[in-house]
Structure 1
């Protein structure tokens, strides 16, 4: 057998082995694709944009959004049980803010044909009292509804010896009270909306309304904005504030610091 014939037989054998390998590979079944589990969903009504406290809801503020059925609360408005929910809540007033994408709940709404908005947001036993304040001492115009404030009373008294300037006495008459409203008209300040208020509505207990009513006739009222962390701060009773009179406090007016004594 010559060399050429041996070479041809070798090539043919290799080709046969390759064909046998390829044929055996075709019999193998492809690996199954992973199965995707489809969770049941439901359409619920959510805020399409941020909705502020006291804002009346409009259809363009709302939208339906797909939500996992297992996590959809019974308090949510669902399309399968209330397809006309957008029409039903249109015109209602938000008694608490909604952020974009937050589910709409009727517990946070006041129907336009129901009780007044202010009466609806007041907790049981509390009172809403409006009073004038000094605009230039209203924390720079950045006091908004739901903020917590202290109410200060400032009184100017004549110096008894008639040789010096008038004496200004300031005292805190109410602490950590909630602002329900402050005027109505927003004003642009440094590129952001602020409320420069002359009239404020406060959430007070019945005994606090008496304190505020007396103070309105005695001098000028101003507000001191508190930190948001003070929402659950211990309450200082009115009688405890009265017991602190006689102490010296620092009074800053127009950037000039002075001392004043809280009268007993």
Structure 2
């Protein structure tokens, strides 16, 4: 066989082999994944367009409609098909903070004429009562709404020697501050309370509110700010001083004689 014929056969064989490899790679190439559209039964739910703080008067622009699976919609949600729509929330007052994207419920908003905001945020059975404060009796005016404090009464008493002396008792522990002055919430970036605020409104039960009213007339009330770590972890609300260790009352021994018990739940 001539040399030219051998070269031609070799070239043809190489081309055939290359064609075989290319065809095999095409055949074995994985097919593109198929996308299957699943129809989800959904509805439009009203959600907060941005963070809404406690006590803010809301506008229609504070909310938007968001597609939501129907199976996840609860009766408290405001849906596009429900009566009222945006009119339900326009001009309302936030009785609890709302986060961006959070569904709006009627329980978190109150319309003017349905009661004050402070009354709306008070838990059942609790009372709001105010006490005078100043810089030296309120942690340098660094106490803000929703902080927790201990309530201390300082008064003058006559000692057995006939001399007047100052006596302090802790009346209640772990008391929630509802408002400082006229402010019931803090705006973003606010780190100080109202500079001219002269009152603090506290959350107490009825008996404790009576005791605080009496204490306001007998001496000076001071508020000791508690760490956020020492908050209301057990959900018990305000308690008498040393309540966890000594039962439901507090008695301070003075000159060997127990004093009046102030804090009872």
With the length of structure 1 as denominator, give the TM-score of the two structures. 0.74
Q: Is this contact kept in 2: 1:134–1:220, CA < 8 A?
A: no
- Cα separation, partners in 2 of 1:227 and 1:191, compared to 1, 3 Å: closer
Match of 2:165 in 1: 167
1:240 aligned onto 2:249: yes
> Aligned equivalents of 1:113 and 1:38: distance in 2?
46
Question: Secondary structure at 1:146's aligned position in 2?
Answer: coil
Kept in 2: contact 1:133–1:220 (CA 8 A): no
In the TM superposition, residue 215 of structure 1 has moved relative to its aligned partner by 1.0
Distance 2:51 2:213 in 1: 37
Tell me what 1:7 maps to.
Answer: 7
Give the whole-Å Cα distance in 1 for the aligned partners of 2:18 and 2:66. Answer: 58
Partner of 1:112 in structure 2?
Answer: 112
* Aligned-residue offset at 1:66: 3.6
Aligned residue for 1:59?
60
Give structure 2 stretches of 5+ with no counterpart: 261-265
Alpha-carbon distance between aligned partners in 2 of 1:187 and 1:34, rounded to the nearest angstrom: 52
Cα separation, partners in 2 of 1:50 and 1:161, compared to 1, 3 Å = same
Q: For 1:57-109, what per-residue CA distance to the aligned partner results, in whole angstroms no more than 9, with x for missing partners?
A: 12232223344444343422233x24853332122111121222322221122
Equivalent residues of 2:145, 2:186 under 8 A apart: no
Partners of 2:249 and 2:166 in 1: how far apart? Answer: 22
Distance 1:168 1:91, change over 3 A: same
Q: What's 1:148 paired with? A: 148
Contact 1:169 1:262 in 2 (8 A): no
Aligned to 1:103: 103
Structure 2 counterpart of 1:255: none
5 Å matches for 1:141-220?
141-156=141-156, 167-184=165-182, 192-196=191-195, 197-220=197-220
Residue 176 of structure 1 deviates from its aligned partner by 2.4
Change (3 A) 1:195 1:99: farther
Root-mean-square deviation (CA), in Å?
A: 3.7
Taking structure 2 as the reference length, the TM-score comes to: 0.74
